[in-house]
Structure 1
Amino acid sequence: MNLQAPFQSPARAADPREARRQIREGLHTGHTAGLAPGYLQGNLVILPAEHALDFFRFCQRNPKPCPLVGVSDTGNPDLFTLGTDVDIRTDVPSYNIFRDGVLTESVPDIKALWGEDSVAFVIGCSFTFEQALVTDGIRLRHWDDDTTVSMYRTSIQTTPAGPFRGEMVVSMRPMTMANAIKAAAITARFPHAHGAPVHIGDPAQIGIADIAKPDFGDPTPIEDGEVPVFWACGVTPQRTVLEAKLPLVITHTPGHMLVTDIPGYEAGGG
């Protein structure tokens, strides 16, 4: 199943409101890594209200892959807790539409699909802590190459809630062991952006058969002297919701996040 939108180079606006304006007007349709650095970005899951409480419980029970940072009121697309004029129907570069667990299309906005019983969940994203890593001198190759971070399904199981259950998805960034240790300390300060890594080293230990073939995103070569470092990923709740095979689920396309007005240091706890 291809969950990804065609790649287009980002405009890399520094201000989150300007980033959302560009996205809303169709001027930016690519991934959001490096966009509005220093501000919290979020994964998106939109469900019918009848399933919202179970999904809320799932996020609460699985805080590493599902750090919940915002929930809309039922039927209200304005996520006022995450910024000024945040319209969840238009402010994500690409949305994936799933019907009965099957991807049917990817669209640039969901104005025609948002309903009176829709509830939007925004889940913290590792893009938020990447600026802190770069500022501390840790190279991120998908930033250098302007690609989408590599993501993999694993054998790590989540704690179920209602119809929601399944394996954890992780994102991977290769780095030296010294930088991996430093990155673990830095990202631990960002619990609302997945926090510290869940695994460092041998991918087979978490059920990844071929590190060169990510399930989502672009391949990221691992150079001599580097190890793969894995963080819990917000694609996890997407996969979990799809396995529940609900009649209609809307998510962001992997790598294409909601940019909020919340400074990254708040996501990191100070």
Structure 2
Amino acid sequence: MTLPDNAKIMSPQQLRQRIRTGQHTGNTSGYSEGYVQCNMVILPKDWANDFLQFCQANPKPCPLIAMGQPGEFNLADLGIDIDVRSDIPSYRIFRDGEFSEEVTDISDHWQDDLVVFMLGCSFSFEEALQADGLEVRNVTEGCNVPMYRTNIDCKPAGRFSGTTVVSMRPFKAADAIRAVQICTRFPSVHGAPIHLGDPSQIGISDINTTDFGDAVTINEGELPVFWACGVTPQVALEQAKPPFCITHSPGCMLVTDLPNSRLAVM
């Protein structure tokens, strides 16, 4: 699968409109170059403070970009005419911690006590890697980034705990070092990688079998490089078992009007 020719130059507003009308249903990696993409978690108000504490305790996998008020779904600070109920290509609904269904619109599931959390996404730093001449394999191959459950514990907070999910991109050793240097400048979108090399050391038994997303080619002489991933909250939700929760589907993000450059630490 390859990205459309206009994927990179499509404005966030244009992409959100295509998502809202069902014209775009896939992952958002490689789209709307230059703009912040966000993972999403939506919880009832009485669970929101615990999750906020979990994000604050685990900023690498859960870097908080924005948090709405109860019942707020437009998040105007993130862009023009945003509606989080319809502007993400795919959503996952959880009931009592169990995955229930995947849908393309959550308007019928919306409740006035729901609180929206938007978390930084590694798709945002892919642009910086590419600008430095590094190949991002999932973009090259036109697929979702590979993601894996690990044995790396998150810090518990309130009713939330669990292990870290990571995303993976392969690089030659010298390029991996450069990727660390580049991504250190972007703490709001997961920052530097948390592991390089042997996946078994972080509990991944088969690098070719993903827990989320798609496997990508790892060429001879390349190291798998692992970043903390915004799918981590979905593991924490499975543990905490809130009565109701909505997340993005892995790889399917809210593309905001915020420029990636705003997140860089110089």
Same fold? TM cut 0.5:
yes
Unaligned runs of at least 5 residues, structure 2: none
Distance apart, 1:269 and its partner CA? 3.0
Q: Is the 2:86–2:104 contact (alpha carbons within 8 Å) kept by the matching residues of 1? A: yes
Q: Partner of 2:85 in structure 1?
A: 89
Q: 129, 133, 136: which one pairs with 1:140?
A: 136
Amino acid aligned to 2:73: P
Q: Is structure 2 residue 245 aligned with structure 1 residue 214? A: no
Query: Structure 1, residues 218-262: CA drift from partner, whole Å, max 9, x if none?
Result: 112211110000000000012111221111110000000000111
Q: Partner of 1:259 in structure 2?
A: 255
Distance apart, 1:9 and its partner CA? 6.0
Q: Is the 1:175–1:226 contact (alpha carbons within 8 Å) kept by the matching residues of 2? A: yes
Q: Partner of 1:22 in structure 2?
A: 18
1:233/1:80 CA distance change after superposition, 3 Å:
same
Q: Partner of 1:55 in structure 2?
A: 51
Q: Partner of 1:201 in structure 2?
A: 197
Q: Partner of 1:153 in structure 2?
A: 149
Distance apart, 1:80 and its partner CA? 1.1
Q: 216, 224, 237: which one pairs with 1:241?
A: 237
Q: Is the 1:8–1:31 contact (alpha carbons within 8 Å) kept by the matching residues of 2? A: no
Query: Structure 1, residues 100-142: CA drift from partner, whole Å, max 9, x if none?
Result: 1222211111001111100010000000000111111111111
Amino acid aligned to 1:185: Q
1:195/1:29 CA distance change after superposition, 3 Å:
same
Q: Is the 1:96–1:253 contact (alpha carbons within 8 Å) kept by the matching residues of 2? A: yes
Q: Is structure 2 residue 37 aligned with structure 1 residue 41? A: yes
Name the CA distance, whole Å, in 1 between partners of 2:15 and 2:110: 22
Q: Is the 1:9–1:31 contact (alpha carbons within 8 Å) kept by the matching residues of 2? A: no
Q: Is the 1:44–1:122 contact (alpha carbons within 8 Å) kept by the matching residues of 2? A: yes
Q: Partner of 1:224 in structure 2?
A: 220
Q: Is the 2:2–2:142 contact (alpha carbons within 8 Å) kept by the matching residues of 1? A: no
22-31 or 58-67, larger mean C-alpha shift: 22-31
Q: Partner of 1:119 in structure 2?
A: 115
Q: Is the 1:150–1:171 contact (alpha carbons within 8 Å) kept by the matching residues of 2? A: yes
Q: Is the 2:2–2:141 contact (alpha carbons within 8 Å) kept by the matching residues of 1? A: no
Name the CA distance, whole Å, in 2 between partners of 1:173 and 1:116: 39
Other structure's SS at 2:87 match: coil
1:266/1:186 CA distance change after superposition, 3 Å:
same
Name the CA distance, whole Å, in 2 between partners of 1:24 and 1:42: 16
Amino acid aligned to 2:182: I
Q: Is the 1:48–1:119 contact (alpha carbons within 8 Å) kept by the matching residues of 2? A: yes
Name the CA distance, whole Å, in 2 between partners of 1:50 and 1:59: 16
Distance apart, 1:209 and its partner CA? 1.0
Q: Say what the alpha-carbon RMSD is for the aligned residues.
A: 1.4
Name the CA distance, whole Å, in 1 between partners of 2:202 and 2:225: 12
Name the CA distance, whole Å, in 2 between partners of 1:87 and 1:77: 6
Q: Is the 2:94–2:100 contact (alpha carbons within 8 Å) kept by the matching residues of 1? A: yes
Question: Under a length normalisation based on structure 1, what TM-score does the superposition of the two structures give?
Answer: 0.95
Q: Partner of 1:128 in structure 2?
A: 124
Q: Percent identity?
A: 52
Q: Is structure 2 residue 74 aligned with structure 1 residue 104? A: no
Q: Partner of 1:3 in structure 2?
A: none
Q: Is the 1:9–1:30 contact (alpha carbons within 8 Å) kept by the matching residues of 2? A: no
Amino acid aligned to 1:114: W
Other structure's SS at 2:176 match: helix
After superposing on structure 2, the runs of 4+ consecutive aligned residues of structure 1 that deviate more than 4 Å are: 7-11
Distance apart, 1:60 and its partner CA? 0.3
Q: Partner of 1:4 in structure 2?
A: none
Name the CA distance, whole Å, in 1 between partners of 2:132 and 2:19: 29
